Amino acid sequence: MIPKIPFGRTGHLSSRIIFGGWALSQATQAEADRILDLLLKWGINHIDVARAYGNAEKRVGHWMKQHRDKFFLATKCRSRSPERARRDLENSLSQLKVDQIDLWQLHSLSNPQSWEKVMAPGGVLDVFIEARDQGLVRYLGVTGHGSKIAGMHLRSLERFDFDTVLLPYNFLAMQNPRYAQDFNDVVELCRRRNVVVQTIKSIARRPWGDRPKTYNTYFYEPLEDQGAIDKSVHWALGLEDSFVVTAGDMRLIPKMLEAATRFEQCPSDTEMDVLAKEYALQPYLPY
């Protein structure tokens, strides 16, 4: 089974691997149900979806009548107007078939202009706080992609005491000095405040470029070889007290779960350098 550790200040013991719901964005219910079997088999008790993830909330909602008590349930809202954010929450509750969401996250908050709008008095952040106060959600977080997101998360945490952050973390991303500095600053702040760090893109190989997109990993071409996935997942799990969100293709979920069960220690930088050369890894931190 995959280990569980405290999910920050929430009091929940979450599996260190979080199921990333983008994998269900185009799934049939039958396909999604096969993934549910895998999650139950490996003891995954935390699901992360979003309004923007196609079929994902609907597919997860189908599980909730029977399995709600087995999962910490997170979703995201990308709307930048208060009215749309309220509608998003209503739709998420309806699609997920629950009365309360455990974690509601500001989705992809990396653009400075959007950040100002969201954080302004009467903006979307106020809708999030209101939803928490009404008991419709329990905890609040912020997420994002790209080379600037760690720095933006620092701004977000200065503005409001979020319970969680989510951002990219892999070996090549951390070879970018600016990103690494901002990322480490975020981690240090989060540890002081007991804010959860969730990481994504652990098995990113390179941008798709002109190659056909043969996996449902929207932003990047993933690693496929089990040995390479093992090392990459183990490297990400080497960040103490953090959580790794699975990649966005159903075919990769079993490989990432297998990798996590074998985690003992973080590979060395030398080992990761060898991996980077062998698989022609390229840094991928868009926009």
Q: Model confidence over 48-63: pLDDT tens digits?
A: 999 999 999 999 999 9
CATH superfamily of 14-278: NADP-dependent oxidoreductase domain (3.20.20.100)
Do strands 204-206 and 221-222 pair parallel, antiparallel, or not at all (unpaired)? antiparallel
pLDDT score of 285: 72
Residue-wise pLDDT tens digits, 108-138: 999 999 999 999 999 999 999 999 999 999 9
Tens of pLDDT, residue by residue over 229-265, are: 999 999 999 999 999 999 999 999 999 999 999 999 9
CA dist., res. 32 & res. 271, Å (int): 35
Confidence of residue 286 (pLDDT cuts 50, 70, 90): low
Give the residues across from 143 on adjacent strands: 166
Return the pLDDT at 287: 46
For residue 131, the one-letter residue type is A
Separation CA 237–CA 37 (nearest Å): 23
pTM as predicted: 0.97
CA dist., res. 194 & res. 87, Å (int): 30
Q: Which of 58, 41, 50, 64 is nearest to 21 (CA)?
A: 50
Taking 70 as the threshold, does the pLDDT of residue 71 lie above it? Answer: yes
Q: Is 244:18 a contact under the CB 8 Å cutoff?
A: yes
Structure tokens at 93: 């509750």
How many residues would you count in the chain?
287
Question: What secondary structure, in 3-state letters, does 167-207 show?
Answer: EECCCCHHHCHHHHHHHHHHHHHHHHHCCEEEEECCCEEEC
Query: How confident is the prediction for the chain on average, in pLDDT?
Result: 97
